[in-house]
Amino acid sequence: MIKKIFGIAPTKEKNGSAYIPSPMGRMLGVDKVSGFKASTFEGKKYRGDKKILVLCTEERYFEMANGKQFSTGNNVQETMVPIMHLVNGGFDFEVVTPTGKKAILEEWSVPLKDEAVIKFRTENQLKFNNPLSLKKLIENDELNDTSKYIALFLPGGHGAMVGLPEDENVGKLLRWIKTSDRYLVAVCHGPAAMIAKDKKDEPNPYKGYKMVAFPDKFDKQSPSLGYLPGQLPWFQCEALEKEGIEVINDKITGATHIDRKLISGDSPKACDELGKITVDTLFKELEVN
């Protein structure tokens, strides 16, 4: 009752038994307007056929250590804003999930007063409703030297911690991105997918890399504000560090970082800049003038 009075009690989802963040959690953790600021990229625009592959979760529920279910998915702001910049820069994108089931987005994470994000999401919702199947892409050997995908984007949201990190095909995708010298872009909790393995005993392809991500210490504090209905069963930065990937931030500042062909952002605050630096980086790679 006291938690409800102060707005820090996790809220039951409308049609189910899982929880979404408390009113306080949503107030502190969900922007009403994203940081998106459209860029003309100095008049440059990509006009080729290279695409961005966006790996989304098809899982909505994440069981906390206390057994309660968190209703999650991919964060809307963290998914749309970087892609919006890529599209403005001339790049097309395709959405993929592990088996081709619908990509799950956190409906409670929509920036409700951001007309640009809402419009873009509406215009592209079919891509999220009818994604590619990663399983089929791999079975059909479509991830090869002639593939049109120049980059893989791992959007945030706690849903990225469900299913993707255990999926062998995600491990194969990540290894292909690395060994074929393509770009990997990740934000907030999206890096959780980077611990996926295609072969148990092989080192992580990004071992020795540095990046920014959502710090574990804030996830550990989240239950006290009712953002999460319990402690997470595992923490992404700890898992990344075990893989030999160094997370260099312990604060949420909107930081971005580039280490070779790994481009990362720490939180929703980083999404605007992340999208812009990714476009600029791809322009240089593809010699867009």
Residues assigned a catalytic role: 188
Label the pairing between strands 262-265 and 183-187.
parallel
Report yes or no: 123 and 129 within 8 Å, Cβ to Cβ. Answer: no
CB atoms within 10 A of CB 194: 28
Strand partners, 136: none
DSSP string, the chain: -HHHHTT-SPEEPTTSS-EE--HHHHHHHS-SS-------GGG----SS-EEEEE-----EEE-TTSPEEE--EEHHHHHHHHHHHHHTT-EEEEEESSSPPPPEEGGG--TT-HHHHHHHHHHHHHHHSPEEHHHHHHTT-SSTT-SEEEEEE--SGGGGSSGGG-HHHHHHHHHHHHTT-EEEEETTGGGGGG--SSTTSPPTTTT-EE----HHHHHHHHHHTSSSS--SS-HHHHHHHTTPEE--SS-S--EEEETTEEEESSGGGHHHHHHHHHHHHHHHHT--
How would you classify the pairing of strands 51-55 and 210-211? unpaired
What angle, 0 to 180 degrees and rounded to 10, lies between the N-to-C axes of helices 271-286 and 76-88? 30
